[in-house]
Structure formats: structure tokens, C-alpha cells
Amino acid sequence: MSPLNAAADIKSAVRAKALETGFDAVGFSPAAGGAELKSRLDKFLNLGRHAGMDWMAGNVEIRADPAKIFPAARSIIVLGLNYGPGDARPGRRAGAVSVYARGRNYHKVIKKKLIRLARWLADTYGAEARVFTDTAPVMEKPLAQRAGLGWQGKHTNLVSRQFGSWLFLGEVFTTLKIEPDRALEDLCGTCDACIRACPTGAITEPYRLDAGRCISYLTIEHKAAIDDGLAGRMGNRIFGCDDCLAACPWNKFAQPAAEKDFAPRPQTVNPELGPLLALDDAAYRETFAGTPLRRPGRDRFIRNVLVAAGNSGDKSLAEAVRASVNDPAALVRTAARWALEKLDG
């Protein structure tokens, strides 16, 4: 067998094994970085668009060059796992939870599959490997575009021709040499549906996101009180936001997730705001155990619920909101006063 055919067979075998492991999309990228990645990252950081996510400003050289994470790597296998939603529209008294957070924590689901694939590479080809999924200084979306999984749309998220906006990403850095796939071209065209859909104007121009205005950032990463002007535009979103993703026309090709661990849990689909406001720390941890909703902590989560209650216009929630005015956490008390002012007109 010629070396060319042998290389093609290895690539085909790796792709088949990745799909067998449960991934929905597979692509291959060189391990080397590029000046363009660093230039884009530097511009984003210099403009302060990362808001309070100071960790993004660390390890810039490593983020811009994947080879610095694992110098022995010769290839990067980029994997996608579909988390496409069914239909669940929250009512006025219910909180909206981002699609990605309604089931089991995706980090654990993807990492388990990545480790299985990495072990197979070691057993089959004697290749070393390192696995990553949103937990290391890896610029996943540019890598996914380079590997042919999709392209970064005007909302800055990945868009797939097959799965629309609903792909989790993970990577296996390996010493195995695999022919890279061709990068996909940008197919957004003149469409600006995602920009128009953003409630807070966080997409300041095509391909430019101001994280400090993004509802996903505000409800998950932001540690302080939410600016009144932004809070008033958050609606009933209590954890994350899917508006720019859901608006993408490429979602016409999307399909519901097949991964059972991503099936929505009752407590994450349209949860009533009133009972959520009664959660103390222990109840909060128990209610959302194993889901991404544990990330912000109880106080920030209740802050989000209070903002949603204030925006609901439902005066029957005023009693539950009023109880939070005396909460031990200053962050919760501030949000409760804001919500009461909104409900009282």
C-alpha cells in the first residue's frame, strides 16, 4: 500500500471511530497556529470586549498558537456534538434557560467521549493525545472552521450546514499525522438576522461581539449587579440566551439532539419564577446538580430570576420578590429592589 493510501485509510478510520464514539461532526486541522488568530484576539482584548472575563487576556500567545499547548502535536481532530433543541417556549411567569444548559453538563459528556477516542488512537497507532473541551486556552471556533465543521457567523458562533447553530465542540490534539480538511467559506452572505435578534445590541457589527452587553455573559459570568438599562432588556432569560443562534436561517437543517444526556430536565424547562426565588444555597445546588446552571452560584442565579420577575409585569410575583429584599446577599437585595420598582410601576 502506498503512503498516500495508508494516510487516507488512517484518516478514514479515525473519522469512523469518532462517529462510532458518538460525535456528530468530525474534521481535521493542522496543529500550527497563525498570525490571523492572534491579530483577531488582540483586537478583541484591546477593545475590552471580553468584559470581566480577565482570564481571556492570559496566555494570549498560547491561545493564538495551538502548537504551544502540546508541542508534539501534528494534527488536531475537531469534534462536534449536536445539541439541537426541541420546542419549549417559556410563558410570562417562567424563566428561559439556554438550550445548551437544559440537560447534563456538556463538559462531562464530551470529555468522556474524547478520552475514549484518545485511548483508541494510542492503542491503534501508538499516538499520544491530549483532549480539550472549553476548559483550556484553545480557540475552538476558529479551529472548527479550519477543520471544515462550519464557519463563524456574524454572531461569532459556529454555524454548521448540517446542524445549524447547535454544536458543542471538543478537540483531540495528537502526534498522529492526519491530512487536514479544507476550511469552510463563510456562507452568511448579506443575512443579518442574528444581529437584529439580539435584545441588548451585543453584536455591535458583523462578527463583533461586546461580551459586556451579551445576556449569556450577564447571566453566567458577570459577578456584579446588572446595569438597569440592560436588565430591562433581558426579558425572562435567567441563564444564557439563544436569540442570535435561533434566528439563523441555517437552523432549517438542524435536528434534535440524539445524545440522551442532553435531554431537558424538568427543572430546567420553563421553571416557574416564584419557586425559584425561594431557593436557598442548598436547595439551589440540589435542584440543578449535574447541570450547567450550577456555574454562577445561587446568588447570581437568584439575581437573574429577580430580573426576569421584574420584567414579567406579573404583580402576583411581588410577594416572592419582596421576600428577597432581606436576603443575606447584597447582590440579591439590589436585584430585588429593582424588580419591585418594576412591578410597582
- Active-site annotation, residues: 134
3-state SS, residue 184: coil
Report the distance separating Cα 288 and Cα 220, nearest Å.
14
Q: What are phi and psi of 250, to 5 degrees?
A: -70, -10
Residue type, 326: N
Do residues 291 and 317 lie in contact, with contact meaning Cβ atoms separated by under 8 Å?
A: no
The 8-class DSSP code of residue 27 comes to: E
| CB neighbour class for 89 (10 Å; exposed up to 12, middle 13-18, buried from 19) | exposed
Cell of 324: 428577597
Measured CA to CA, the distance from residue 194 to residue 247 in angstroms comes to 5
Burial class of residue 315, CB neighbours in 10 A (0-12, 13-18, 19+): exposed
Spatial contact of 75 and 177, defined as CB atoms under 8 Å apart: yes
Radius of gyration of the chain (CA): 21
d(CA 221, CA 52): 8
Distance CA 39, CA 184 (A): 20
As a whole number of angstroms, the distance between CA 172 and CA 102 comes to 26
Please give the grid coordinates belonging to residue 282.
442548598
CA–CA separation, 261 and 278 (whole Å): 28
**Rounded (5°) CA angle 153-158-163:** 110
- The residue type of 241 is C
Residue whose C-alpha cell reads 453538563 in the numeric block: 105
C-alpha cell at 101: 444548559
